[in-house]
């Protein structure tokens, strides 16, 4: 005996329900297919934070200024090949500029040093920082009254630092007004000393000497994270000041200064630092 099959949808033929169900499955499959083919959203750009500081509001004509420039990646994603560069206003002598890069942690990539305008490419892991020390002299007789440096890195907004140019300002008219007196030193005599604890993060002069030709030599120190860096600077009786690169100093290391054969030399840092006193010192 044949039994009639009940229609699950009251008042509607069975074949209509089957057709609607099939259409529902087709629409669902189409939607799933569209989702599978949608492009995956790209990760956002790493968050980069930059700072520049030369610890001055004023600068003398002919003075060499050192800027501490940092670039930090504050994003969980790595920042690969970030271009960094500086531009200078006409008050600077950009051709005489020098720079060094100090990676903060393993994995940071940047050029170790260069001359002229800073132009580098950095690779920054998450949370990492790179620091550039950029030294550039002010023109001796510029027509400008201010000196402006602009730093650009990747797509972040450029940063600027402006110094007002003066003849004397902020006790620049007082010789060695930072409290460090110039010690008389004869050629060939060594002066051995150790670094005192850093007073802050700015560049500070920790030792100065007066040579027989009346030129002055000083040791500058910069505390960078947990590391001390030193450089040697020479101010001759006549002519422009000149200096060495920066070098790291191991904790507790003894530094030794000597002037001999027309050179001033600082030993005891990561590598010896020297500056040529020029032809006048060899007379």
pLDDT value at residue 26:
46
Q: Is the dihedral of CA 51, 54, 57, 61 positive or negative?
A: negative
Cβ atoms within 10 A of the Cβ of 160, count?
11
pLDDT value at residue 136:
95
The Cα 50–Cα 46 span in angstroms is 13
Q: Compute mean pLDDT per 10 residues along the chain, 283 residues long, and list them.
A: 37 46 45 32 66 91 92 87 96 96 88 96 92 93 91 94 80 43 83 85 87 89 90 84 91 90 91 81 47
Please, are residues 280 and 269 in contact by the beta-carbon 8 Å criterion? no
pTM, to two decimals? 0.74
Please, are residues 243 and 135 in contact by the beta-carbon 8 Å criterion? yes
Which are the contacts of 269, defined by CB distance < 8 A and separation ≥ 6? 230, 247, 248, 249, 253, 255
The position carrying tokens 């110094």 is 163
Query: DSSP letter at 61?
Result: T
Query: Angle at the Cα of 136 (from 130 to 138), degrees rounded to 5?
Result: 150
pLDDT value at residue 5:
33
pLDDT value at residue 20:
54
pLDDT value at residue 101:
96
Pairing label, strands 159-166, 146-153:
antiparallel
The Cα 34–Cα 42 span in angstroms is 19
pLDDT value at residue 153:
95
pLDDT value at residue 45:
59
């Amino acid at each position: 005996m044949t039994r009639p099959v009940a229609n699950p949808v009251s008042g509607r033929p069975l074949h209509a329900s089957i057709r609607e169900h099939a259409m529902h499955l087709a629409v669902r499959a189409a939607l799933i297919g569209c989702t599978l083919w949608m492009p995956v959203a790209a990760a956002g750009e790493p968050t980069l934070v930059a700072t520049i500081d030369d610890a001055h509001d004023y600068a003398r004509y002919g003075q060499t200024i050192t800027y501490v420039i940092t670039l930090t990646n504050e994003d969980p994603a790595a920042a690969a090949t970030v271009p960094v560069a500086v531009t200078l206003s006409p008050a600077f002598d950009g051709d005489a500029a020098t720079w060094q890069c100090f990676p903060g942690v393993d994995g940071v990539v940047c050029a170790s040093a260069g001359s002229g305008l800073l132009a580098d490419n950095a690779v920054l892991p998450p949370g990492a920082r790179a620091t550039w020390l950029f030294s550039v002299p002010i023109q001796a007789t510029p027509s400008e009254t201010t000196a402006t440096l602009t730093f650009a890195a990747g797509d972040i907004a450029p940063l600027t630092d402006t110094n007002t140019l003066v003849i004397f300002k902020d006790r620049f008219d007082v010789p060695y007004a930072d409290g460090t007196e110039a010690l008389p030193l004869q050629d060939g005599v060594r002066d051995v000393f150790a670094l005192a604890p850093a007073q802050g993060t700015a560049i500070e002069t920790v030792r100065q000497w007066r040579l027989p030709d009346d030129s002055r030599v000083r040791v500058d120190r910069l505390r960078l994270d947990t590391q001390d860096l030193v450089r040697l600077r020479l101010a001759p009786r006549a002519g422009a000041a000149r200096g060495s690169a920066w070098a790291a100093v191991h904790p507790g290391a003894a530094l030794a200064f000597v002037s001999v054969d027309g050179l001033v030399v600082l030993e005891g840092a990561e590598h010896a630092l020297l500056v040529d006193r020029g032809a006048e010192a060899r007379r």
